[in-house]
């Protein structure tokens, strides 16, 4: 069986572009209607998402790959710095749901980083890694539902978009991963 047809691949790219565009718009929405912590948090995550997309979407398959990869890692450090600052600010502001959300996302991003490195090394996906990611996605979905129940619609909308965006990154990775082989009868 072959991969997705050109129209399906184009549709997925357009879908991701819309989601990523809406997430970028959220920086302005949080700047206007949210706190400085929310604005920096969103900006850091948008940068991190763009970097994950570049790395997992085969956008670095060029002769200058390694120089660009070093630049990406430097930008990734900046993005994690913005998110980390916001995570600490949420704790100091007693914004516990925001803090929990950010720390859970940081854990998920760490697991995705591990998945990216395993994929680059040609390793099959670890079941434990996949289960941990599913657990974190479920917890993040629960936080989104709490925001919806509390009437915090911007937070709910933002959380839903992020869940969709990171699932798209996971789909990029899933297409690249070598499949685990099991022994007969296992």
- Is 185 within a domain? no
Per the structure, the count of domains in the chain is 1
The answer to whether residue 183 scores a pLDDT higher than 70 is: no
- Is 103 within a domain? yes
**Helical ranges in the chain per DSSP H:** 6-33, 36-56, 65-92, 96-120, 127-149, 153-176
- Is 97 within a domain? yes
pTM: 0.80
**pLDDT of 29:** 95
| Helices and strands (H, E) in the chain, number of each type | 6, 0
Read off the pLDDT of residues 133-177 as tens digits, 9 standing for 90 and up: 999 999 999 999 999 999 999 999 999 999 998 887 777 767 765
In angstroms, rounded to a whole number, what is the distance separating the alpha carbons of residues 119 and 100?
28
SS3 content of the chain, % helix, strand, coil (to 5): 80, 0, 20
Range of the domain at 87: 8-176
- Is 141 within a domain? yes
Read off the pLDDT of residues 125-144 as tens digits, 9 standing for 90 and up: 789 999 999 999 999 999 99
- Is 181 within a domain? no
The answer to whether residue 45 scores a pLDDT higher than 90 is: yes
Read off the pLDDT of residues 4-43 as tens digits, 9 standing for 90 and up: 567 877 888 898 889 889 999 999 999 999 999 999 999 9
Work out the mean pLDDT of the chain and round it to a whole number: 85
User: Is the backbone of residue 25 left (phi > 0), alpha (psi -120 to 50) or beta?
Assistant: alpha
In angstroms, rounded to a whole number, what is the distance separating the alpha carbons of residues 167 and 182?
26
Query: For the chain, how many residues are written?
Result: 186
- DSSP type of residue 178: P
Cα radius of gyration rounded to whole Å, the chain = 17
């Amino acid at each position: 069986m072959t991969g997705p047809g050109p129209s399906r691949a184009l549709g997925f790219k357009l879908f991701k572009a819309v989601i990523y565009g809406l997430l970028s718009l959220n920086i302005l929405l949080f700047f206007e209607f949210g706190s400085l912590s929310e604005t920096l948090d969103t900006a850091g995550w948008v940068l991190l998402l763009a970097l994950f997309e570049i790395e997992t979407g085969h956008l670095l398959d060029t002769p200058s790959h390694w120089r660009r990869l070093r630049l990406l890692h430097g930008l990734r450090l900046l993005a994690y710095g913005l998110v980390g600052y916001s995570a600490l600010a949420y704790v100091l502001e007693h914004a516990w749901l925001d803090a929990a959300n950010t720390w859970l996302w940081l854990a998920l991003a760490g697991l995705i980083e591990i998945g990216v490195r395993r994929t680059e090394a040609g390793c099959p996906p670890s079941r434990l890694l996949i289960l941990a990611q599913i657990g974190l996605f479920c917890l993040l979905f629960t936080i989104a539902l709490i925001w919806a129940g509390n009437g915090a619609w911007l937070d709910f909308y933002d959380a839903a978009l992020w869940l969709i965006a990171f699932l798209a990154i996971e789909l990029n990775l899933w297409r690249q991963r070598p499949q685990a082989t099991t022994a007969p009868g296992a």
